[in-house]
Structures are given as C-alpha cells and as structure tokens.
Amino acid sequence: MTGFFDRLFGKRASVGERPNSSSQAKLNVDEFGHGLVSIDELDFLGHQAKSPNSRYRLVWADRTPDGRRGGNRDSGHGCWLLLLDDRIVKTGQLERPQEGKVADNGTFILHDWMFGQGLQGRFVAFNSKGQTLIAQQFAANLMSNSLSPDARTAICQTANAPGSDDSCRYMLFDLEAGREIARWEVETGWAEGYEWDREAHRVLICLSDGERAAYDFTGTMVDRAGWQRRRIAAGDLRVIKDILETQVPLDSEMRKLVVAGLARAARDGEVWSQARALRLLGELHETAGELEEAIKAYDDALRLDPKVGVARRVEKLRREAGPQDIQTAGGRKNRFEKQADRLGIGHDVIMLEKGRGKEWRFHRAHDWSSVEFAALEHYHEQGWSGAASEGGLILTLIKAASFKSLDPCHADTFVEALYAQNVAFDQDRFSKSDLVASVSRSTRSQIEANWRIISATADNTPAFYPTVLAEHVFGLFDAIGADRLAEIAGVFASAPYDLRSGWPDLTLWKGEAIRFVEVKAPSDSFHASQARLISKLLQPLGFDVGLAEVRARSESTGA
C-alpha cells in the first residue's frame, strides 16, 4: 500500500490532494468475491463498484497509506480511484471511503465514515473529472446508498442516532443542482436495495422480503394505503401496531386484515415476534371488550415469552372475568405455578437448604452447590438418574448419534453448526435428512465410539460441556432409544440455532421414562428460549416436562 500511495500521489502527498493522475497504462485488475479487487502494479487491495456498462470501475480502500491500519482510526486517509477501461482517470483521498457506486458517465458516490468514534458520516459525489458535486456531513452513521442510472439523482440512508435530526432517515440528492432535495423517516425498515423510475420521478426502496415501497422526489410515499395493506397481510408488526394506535376504532374490513396479519406473524415469525403478535391480538380483543379472547391471546403470548409484558394485565382481566380462574385449593397461584399452567407442564416444589449467595444443598451431608445440582439430588432420591447440564447432554448425544463414525476434526464442532451446514468446507456439509437418518439407526457401540472422539479433547468431557459424562450419555441413550432420539433430532434440524438454547436444566431417566425439568430458584424468571424449546419441541413430541420451584427450608427442618 505504501507503494500505491507513492505512485499515485508522490512522496508525502498532502491530505485531500487530488492531482491529475490520468494514465494511459491499462492496469491488471484481479477480482475476488465480495467486491474485492487487487491491482499488482499499484500494490493495491480494496473494494470496487462497476458502472452498468462495465467501462467505469470505482475502487477504494479504507486503510492508512502504509496499509497497516484499516477500519476505525483517528488518522491516515483512505483512497479512491476512478478507472475507465481499467486506465486511471482520477484519484483522491477520503478519511474512510465506503459503499461506492459509479454510473456510465463516470459520476460516482461514496460514503466517508470519517475518523473518530462519534456517530457521523459524510456523503460525497464527484463527476468523472473528480469535481465535487455533493459533500454533506450527517450526525449519524451512514448505511446504504444508490445512484440513479442517469447519474442525476442519488440516495443514502442513515442509521439510528438518538437525539439527531439525521437519525434513521433517507436523504435524496439532485446531483446536477448539488443539493439535498428530500428526506424522510425510515418507516419501511432498512433497505436491501434501490430501484429508480426517472420518468415518474420515483425511487423504490427494496426490502428483504421482496416488498417495494415507492417514494416520489419530494419524499412522499406513493400509494401508502396499498403499502400498508400489503405489510399488514405479511404480518409486519410495526405497521400493525401503528394502525392499532392511530385508527381507533378499526372498521370491520381493516380489523379482519389486522387479525389475519397477526395470525400470520404468530404462525410464521420468530418466537419473540410470535409473542408480540399475540400480545397485539390480545390488546385488540381487550379494546373491543372481548375479555375471554383477550385472556387466551395473552396466555398464548406468555407461553412463548414470559417477559412479553402482559402478566399483570391478564390477571386483571381474569379477576374481571371471574375469580375462579386464578384460585387453587390453597389460594392464589404464584408466578411459577401460573407459568407451568400456561405451558401445560407439571409443577413441583423442592425444599432445599439455602447457603451463602447462590449455594444450595439437598442434604446436610452434601457439599454446597448450584441450585440445579442440589435439585438433581432430590430426583436422585426418587430413583431418577440424570444430569444437570441444560442442553449439553442431549446435544452431545445427538451429535454422537448423527455419524456412523465421527471425524476427529469435528470433535469440538457444535452440533447446531453441523446441522445448519455452517462450516467452512464443502466436504463437511451434511444433509439434515442424512444426519437424522443416522440417528434413527444409531447403536450403543456407535455412541461409545463417537463419545471417545468427542471427549478426547477435554479430559473425558465434551469441550464445551464439562458437566456431561460418559455415564450420562450412555444412560440417556439406553433409556430414550434411537427412534425417540431421532424424533428430537428431526425437530432440532428444522431450526438448529434456535433450538440449541432453552433446554431444561435437568435431563432425567428411570427405566424407559424420560423427564425434563426446569429448575427455578426464588429470584429466577422464565425465559423466552425456555418456553420456545418446551412448546416447540418437547411438548409436541410428548415428553414429560416439569417446572421445579425451589424454596428455602430452615436448617432445623433439614433432612
């Protein structure tokens, strides 16, 4: 890189200097993936953008002149080059050049992320002679941009910057006039791309789900009502929430559309959005005085995410609907009993002796330990075998069962990465169906052989699950069997990264009986990942799941 700057600017070129560096020598530009290019003649490595006709090429590097520092820094300008048929037309410097675009006439735009730590950025545009058309600074970081094919208009997008008038905005520029002509808030979500309709004077914001939102050159959305209907039908909770807050009461047609959109979000969205959709549905019913429907929607939301924020509200509605719903033979239910009821799982109370901090024990003869290990002793006394390892045990067993012979190179590879094919080399990409089929055919000898490989790197335990032992892996496999384990693996394969977390603290077995138990100390709370794992995997497969509520007993009454 030092040679590159020396060639372009001469020794110790001043900051911002843009000498006339046109050259008739054609450069050899090597292209790589992700927009990377190298130019050996200039000792250059950076990014590129090509014009639609491929004649112009804009390349830039966000690095110091000596090439030693890139990214966030306080000094050391980066550079850009404009090439025509791979011959240098113009060169220049910016603090931190990014996100270049170039048109067929050589007009180009760049983002300058600028030196320092603050939320700031500069949008710049140049013509093919290197003359500045736009240089506008914002008190927000810059994200995406686009240049119209005729090079007359450009757009950029800013990120969130609390307290700044530039936060979360689209800015539209007239490059011929050299000024900003419109700006508007990001209400559509972040752009994945842009399209231009110069005849109609419109720019289209392209979203990740294929939706497009058209804006005219005054920053006004075209056919907002149509866009809202499409977004509601797609289950866009941000748009639905805005409708519920601004259009009160809803007319019958809009209500039907909103209910259908919420149903789609509750069915197809991520767990957090499913819970939020059900909360919004509950609010819709509550506003309409439909208490029974509101209670059901709130309960469904809490089942998916105990922290969705409606626990008190649903109990208030229960009291209005009838107190019998919140009473038990012994009085009012506590929060753990309510959560167990919502999830449809068992509720146990375990009395343990409380020590200092987070120390607990079941018997006085036992050492102090975590609440999970102390609770495990309670179940041991009832004849259960098991482990207090959350998902470590079952995930290790699935991994050992997924391969007839596990390659030692995967001894420490997370099973979710293998099932998601999130690996570096093609030979390590296994189909989910093949992995699950291997689980269904797994044998005790296969589990033992693969366990030796898995446990060899960390002193007889898996590298990332130190509480999982051989006796746990073999004991659980003998109890659960290959067929039931394959059922778990099949559901796990549908969303490996989502379903790797949230496993109950205890995995227990007694004969062929399997039980999963989530242990909660008095100050604990239920998490969305735990509710998701139980409701999406364990319950549909018919497993016995329980919530063990730990309460402190006095030493005088200890066992």
Residue 325's pLDDT is 45
Domain assignment of residue 133, yes or no: yes
Determine if the peptide bond prior to 462 is cis (ω within 30°): no
Condensed to tens digits (0 to 9), the pLDDT of residues 385-404 reads 999 999 999 999 999 999 99
Q: Are 497 and 430 in a shared domain?
A: yes
pLDDT at 193 > cutoff 60: yes
Domain boundary among 288, 314, 332: 332
- How would you classify the pairing of strands 108-112 and 385-388? unpaired
What share of the chain in percent tops pLDDT 70? 93
Q: Are 453 and 485 in a shared domain?
A: yes
Q: Are 280 and 133 in a shared domain?
A: no
Q: Are 177 and 189 in contact (CB under 8 A)?
A: no
Residue 335's pLDDT is 87
Q: CA of 246: how far to CAs of 169, 279, 465, in Å?
A: 22, 17, 50
Q: Are 42 and 20 in a shared domain?
A: yes
Q: Are 449 and 356 in a shared domain?
A: yes
Under DSSP, the state recorded for 70 is B
Domain boundary among 276, 300, 332: 332
Average pLDDT over residues 327-347: 79
Residue 269's pLDDT is 84
Residue 12's pLDDT is 41
Domain assignment of residue 46, yes or no: yes
Q: Are 356 and 485 in a shared domain?
A: yes
Residue 133's pLDDT is 98
Q: Residue 7 — very low, low, confident or very high, per pLDDT cuts 50/70/90?
A: low
Domain boundary among 305, 332, 359: 332
Residue 11's pLDDT is 45
Q: Are 101 and 146 in contact (CB under 8 A)?
A: yes
Helix runs in 17-163, H state only: none
CATH number at residue 170: 2.130.10.10
Please tell me the pTM assigned to this model. Answer: 0.65
Angle at alpha carbon of residue 175, lines to 172 and 178, rounded to 5° = 95
Q: CA of 109: how far to CAs of 62, 85, 156, in Å?
A: 15, 19, 10
Q: How many domains does the chain have?
A: 3
Condensed to tens digits (0 to 9), the pLDDT of residues 419-434 reads 999 988 888 899 999 9
Q: Are 327 and 402 in a shared domain?
A: no
Q: Under 8 Å CB-to-CB from 136, ≥6 apart: which residues?
A: 122, 123, 124, 171, 173, 180
Domain assignment of residue 227, yes or no: no
- Domain around 467: 340-557
